[in-house]
């Protein structure tokens, strides 16, 4: 078993204790019972069944989609020791996403729709690869969806920090840090595909934006990430988990106050933040 999968199992044990906090609605349904209000429609059963009464039971459910945005840049390949395991940064992110999806599956029976995307800024571009002359760009790749029957939790522990663009010979290159340059594309996807009343964007990254855009190679940096957050995530709950980063005034100015640094005990803070969004 890979270290990322071992880390996933550790996170899963933590997450499954907290994930019920995300059930924010009480859904009512009527069931037959031996006590309650008399149900005239089933009185004919009284000779062979005592369940001629009806009562209302309420079960907790969720009406929230959680979208993971994982940084797929080259720096995410740097390695760290986490809980005694040697794992690269993107492996940590994959372990978090996989553990979250597993807790949702086993504890909540997949009541929460979960989508996982990787954001990249391919180092290589050109008409031979993309078919356009639009210059540098960013990409948003969906790698997991909880509603798919063949959703593979283990594959989330195997994601890599390289460009998703592959040429005809199977060659690929690295990726710069796109950060919130992908939000226009994500915004369109949310409007078209998210059916729940609420949506939470969960960003996982190791630092600041560093990429180029367009034919003139516009330099997209952290100030632009802040501007994109203000425009596209205004009114949309969002939280950033900083992998091997820091929580200071500069980073909170870019990503907002809901900034959590990934440490051994971050799960409690993370789920407390999520539940705060749902109150």
Q: Under a CB-based contact definition with an 8 Å cutoff, are residues 151 and 104 in contact?
A: no
Are 127 and 209 in the same domain?
A: yes
Residue 81: C-alpha distances to residues 78, 84, 259, 260 (Å): 11, 6, 22, 18
84 and 45 within one domain: no
Looking at the structure, do residues 11 and 46 belong to the same domain, yes or no? no
Q: Pick the closest to residue 142 from 185, 89, 198 (CA basis).
A: 185
Domain that holds residue 178: 3-24+62-278
Does residue 43 sit in the same domain as residue 165?
no
Look up the CATH number of the domain holding residue 225: 3.40.50.410
Dihedral in degrees, nearest 10, Cα atoms 103, 104, 109, 115: -140
86 lies in the same domain as 115: yes
Among 28-37, 46-55, 248-257, name the one with the lowest average pLDDT. Answer: 28-37
Contact (Cβ atoms closer than 8 angstroms) between residue 205 and residue 243 = yes
150 and 261 fall within a common domain: yes
pLDDT tens across 174-229, in order?
Answer: 899 999 999 999 999 999 999 999 999 999 999 899 999 998 999 999 999 999 99
Whether residue 148 is found in the same domain as residue 49: no
**Residue spans of alpha helices (H) in the chain:** 3-15, 89-107, 127-130, 183-193, 222-232, 249-255, 266-278
Q: What's the structural domain count of the chain?
A: 2
Tell whether 131 and 266 lie within a shared domain: yes
pLDDT of residue 21: 86
Query: Are residues 30 and 134 both part of a single domain?
Result: no
Indicate if 172 and 269 belong to the same structural domain. Answer: yes
pTM: 0.86
194 and 272 part of one domain: yes
């Amino acid at each position: 078993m890979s270290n990322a999968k071992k880390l996933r199992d550790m996170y899963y044990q933590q997450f499954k204790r907290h994930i019920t906090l995300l059930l924010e609605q009480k859904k009512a349904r009527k069931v037959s019972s031996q006590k309650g209000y008399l149900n005239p429609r089933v009185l004919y059963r009284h000779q062979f069944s005592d369940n001629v009464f009806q009562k209302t039971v309420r079960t907790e459910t969720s009406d929230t989609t959680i979208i993971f945005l994982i940084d797929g840049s080259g720096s995410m390949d740097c390695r760290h020791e986490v809980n005694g395991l040697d794992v690269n940064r993107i492996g940590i992110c994959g372990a978090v996403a996989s553990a979250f999806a597993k807790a949702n599956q086993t504890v909540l029976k997949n009541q929460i729709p979960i989508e996982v995307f990787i954001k990249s800024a391919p180092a290589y571009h050109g008409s031979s690869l993309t078919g356009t002359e639009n210059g540098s760009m960013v990409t948003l790749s969906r790698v997991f969806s909880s509603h798919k029957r063949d959703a593979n939790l283990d594959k989330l522990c195997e994601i890599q920090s390289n460009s998703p663009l592959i040429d005809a010979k199977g060659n690929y290159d690295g990726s710069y840090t796109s950060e919130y340059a992908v939000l226009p594309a994500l915004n369109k996807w949310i409007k078209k595909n998210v059916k729940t009343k609420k949506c939470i964007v969960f960003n996982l990254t190791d630092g600041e934006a560093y990429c180029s855009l367009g034919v003139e190679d516009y330099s997209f940096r952290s100030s632009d990430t802040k501007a994109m957050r203000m425009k596209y995530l205004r009114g949309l709950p969002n939280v950033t988990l900083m992998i091997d980063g820091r929580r200071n005034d500069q980073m909170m100015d870019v990503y907002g106050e809901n900034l959590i640094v990934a440490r051994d005990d971050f799960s409690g803070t993370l789920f407390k933040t999520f539940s705060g969004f749902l109150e």
